[in-house]
A and B are shown apart, each in its own frame.
Chain A
Amino acid sequence: MADYYNYLIVVLLMVMGLYIVMAQGNLVKKLIGLNIFQTSVFIFYISTAKVSGGTAPIVIDGAELYSNPLPQVLILTAIVVGIATMSLALALVLRIKRAYGSVEEDVILEQDKSC
């Protein structure tokens, strides 16, 4: 079991993030939950890249074993793309606030029903 603790952490973070997205009514909090979910995927990829006894994939003298650079590349770009798409979501939240006067799910749904 000790060899699998990285997956344990990833799964816990993932369901925590997903729970926040589903159960919270505040749109800002939903996005924070989504961010946690996203980070759990990042940690999953990076943890599969780790090789015991390896070092960071930058060539240095005396190093024989390197960790896998490929997942690191994928996640490196995913983080920056993630913040860009997250800001798109935040922009939508700002517009919702402007249109409905609230960022609470209940209030928005109520207003939608009444009109």
Chain B
Amino acid sequence: MVRARDLFATVMLSGIYGLLSASFFILMDAADVAFTEAAVGAGIFPLLMLTVLTSVGRYEAERRRVRYLPLFVMVVLAGALFAAVLQMPPFGAVDAPSHGHVAQRYIQDSPAEIGIPNMVTSVLASYRGFDTLGEVVVIFTAAVGVVVILLGGRPKTPQQSTQALMAEHKVLRVVGKMLIPLILLFGLYVQFHGEYGPGGGFQAGVIFAVGIILYAMLFGLSNAQRVVPLGVLRWLVALGVLIYGSVGLANLVVGGEYLNYSMLASDPVTGQHIGIILIELGVGITVASAMVLIFFAFTRATRSRDELEE
């Protein structure tokens, strides 16, 4: 990966690396995380990288010799870290300190308190709901940042190039046409099944976005923008955060604490259920539209550059 001068190969390798780390996560019992990593590491990340490569060029400049100072620093750092990790509890230890405290409580009480089998979802959406709100705001901010950096301050370029990136590949188009509805449907399933199996707003948002990005790559940006216009996407990115925040405020209105959903219904467990479904919906909307918006911004930025050069 370090040696290859062909950046295309590097990006493909990092896609494979993403898929491999997803399988690590499955082996270590983290089904939800593996889901996310597979969709992000092997889906969105290489797609974004490839879009950037169309602008920055496929090959990097001739490399100079190996740099010895960083290599030396890294060897020393690796030695120090190895010495440090030997103090850590062994892999898989049942009595590791990190499994005490709140983790025990989540495992023992969350099925009764929240009433859903997937503990990861109940911790994510309910116990640590405030933390997750912060994460969603970060994603929102990043999407706003990308739009400002790439599309801000320039007059809107007329949409001349309707040519899709991969328009000439018939096989890809046919296979894509069959797969895209399934991907979108699967995204919805993951969204609304997140309480019972692995899944939830983050994974569903990414999967849904991959479906739309695939559509944009196969059938052209202007076609994809007819399905989901940029203006609508901008609203959707904000709408998701708004839904999340308003659920919190709704709790205050009915007399509960911010993001504690127990008061939303007469029965606390039902209340938790309603709250989690709503905020997962908010997360899904923001994540999906942020990813699609970022991709559209990238494609437009690289496209208009090429037009300038011509």
Q: Are A and B bound to each other?
A: yes
CB-CB nearest in chain B for A18: B74
Contact call B91/A104, Cβ cutoff below 8 A: no
- The residue that B139 contacts in the complex, of A42, A55, A84, A90, with Cβ under 8 A, is A84
B180 within 8 A of A: no
Which stretch (B36-44, B215-223, B266-274) binds chain A?
A: B36-44
Residues of B in contact (CB 8 Å), total 97
Given contacts A4-B90, A35-B14, contact A88 B146 (CB under 8 A): yes
Let me know if B165 is at the binding interface, CB within 8 A: no
Q: How far is the CA of A75 from the CA of B124 in the complex (A)?
A: 11
> Are the CB atoms of A80 and B287 closer together than 8 Å?
yes
Contact pattern, A 35-72, Cβ under 8 Å of B = 1, otherwise 0: 11001001100111111111111111000011111111
Contacts of B7 in A (CB 8 A): 26, 28-29
- Given A19-B74, A92-B149, A104-B61: A50 touches B91 (CB 8 Å cut-off): yes
- Scan B83-121; emit 1 where CB is below 8 A from any A CB, else 0: 001101111111010110011001100010000011110
Residues of A within 8 A of B256 (CB): none
- B61 close to A25 (CB less than 8 A): yes
Set of chain A residues within 8 Å of B197, measured between Cβ atoms: 58
Q: Is A113 at the interface (CB under 8 A from chain B)?
A: no
**Chain A residue with the shortest CB-CB distance to B5:** A26
The CA-CA distance from A82 to B121 in the complex, in Å, is 19
Give per-residue flags for B17-51: 1 if the beta carbon is below 8 A from chain A beta carbons, else 0: 11001001100111111001100110011001100
Q: A29-B10, A67-B28, A90-B52 are in contact. Are A15 and B139 (CB under 8 A)?
A: no
Contact check, B117 vs A76: say whether CB atoms are below 8 A apart. Answer: no
A58-B117, A72-B33 as given contacts; A32 in contact with B28, CB under 8 Å = no
Residues of B within 8 A of A25 (CB): 60-61, 63-64
Contact B107 A66 (CB under 8 A): yes
B175 at the interface (CB under 8 A from A): no
Does B252 sit at the interface, judged by CB under 8 A?
no
Chain A residues with CB below 8 A from B106, complex form? 69-70
- For the complex, give the distance between the alpha carbons of A1 and B60 in Å: 40
**Cβ of A33 to closest chain B Cβ, rounded Å:** 8
A59 touches B111 (CB 8 A): yes
> Which of the residues B73, B90, B94, B98 comes within 8 Å of A3, measured between beta carbons?
B90
> Which residues in A have their C-beta under 8 angstroms from that of B71?
19, 23
Pairwise interchain contact B33-A76, C-beta atoms closer than 8 A: yes
- Chain A hits for B206, CB < 8 A: 80, 83
Interface of B is mostly: helix
B250 within 8 A of A: no
- Bound: A110/B101 CA distance, A: 54
Question: Who on chain B is nearest to A19 by CB?
Answer: B74
Cβ–Cβ contact B94 & A51, under 8 A: yes
| A80 near B91: Cβ-Cβ < 8 Å | no
Question: In the complex the two chains form, is A23's CB within 8 Å of B66's CB?
Answer: yes
Give the residue name and chain of the B residue nearest to A50 (CB).
B28
Bound: A71/B146 CA distance, A: 29
Closest to A79 in B: B36
Interface residues of A (CB under 8 A from B): 3-8, 10-12, 14-15, 18-20, 22-29, 32, 35-36, 39, 42-43, 46-60, 65-73, 75-88, 90-95, 97-98, 103-104, 106-107
List 12 additional contacts besides A73-B124, A90-B52; criterion CB under 8 Å. A10-B85, A19-B74, A25-B64, A36-B14, A36-B17, A39-B18, A50-B29, A55-B29, A57-B107, A68-B99, A83-B45, A94-B150
26 residue pairs of the A-B complex, CB under 8 angstroms, read A3-B92, A4-B88, A6-B91, A19-B74, A22-B70, A22-B73, A23-B66, A25-B60, A26-B60, A29-B10, A35-B45, A46-B25, A52-B91, A69-B120, A70-B106, A73-B120, A73-B124, A76-B32, A81-B138, A82-B40, A83-B48, A84-B291, A88-B142, A90-B48, A95-B149, A98-B305
